[in-house]
Amino acid sequence: MNQPNIREIQIMDYHDIYMLNLDFNPNLHAFSEEKVRKKIEIITSKTKDIIFVYEQNDKVIGYIHGSPYELLTADSLVNILGFVVKEEYRNHGIGGMLMESLEQWAMNNGYSGIKLFSHPSRVNAHRFYERRGFIFTKDQKHFIKTFDKFTSQLESLQK
């Protein structure tokens, strides 16, 4: 049995990350394993993002994805873009250890704090964040505009 370990993500983690994402949201099956592998490659080679994974017995069972967040009107922050712990391992301190790793990385790299968005239905997650010093600031709507061909074709058909 290998000791639990928190480390930076590696491309070889793509299968475990894919399975974690499905565990979190089964509707994510459309985002294939290969796409996850490519995203890990892009994120680790072309961005300033950081992804920590929690590994136990050679399996990734949790991850946290932080991305630098720069505004002209606020101090530098890290935005949490993804945070998942496999369901059967929740409430065992793994999420807290991942969060601590991200917080330490953020402080060591000169960021003044961490921000995140959380769906209103995720009440347990909200308690987790509040216990760790996060403060609820506001509800807001989320808008997105995609540029893929399929979406454009659908929109033209709806007109």
Q: pLDDT tens digits, residue range 86-114?
A: 999 999 999 999 999 999 999 999 999 99
Residue-averaged pLDDT of the chain:
91
pLDDT at 1 (0 to 100): 57
Dihedral angle sign, alpha carbons of residues 104, 108, 112, 117: negative
Residue 2 clears pLDDT 80, i.e. is over it: no
User: What average pLDDT does the segment 9-31 reach?
Assistant: 90
Q: What percent of the chain has pLDDT over 70?
A: 92
Residue 155 clears pLDDT 60, i.e. is over it: no
Q: pLDDT tens digits, residue range 55-80?
A: 999 999 999 999 999 999 999 999 99
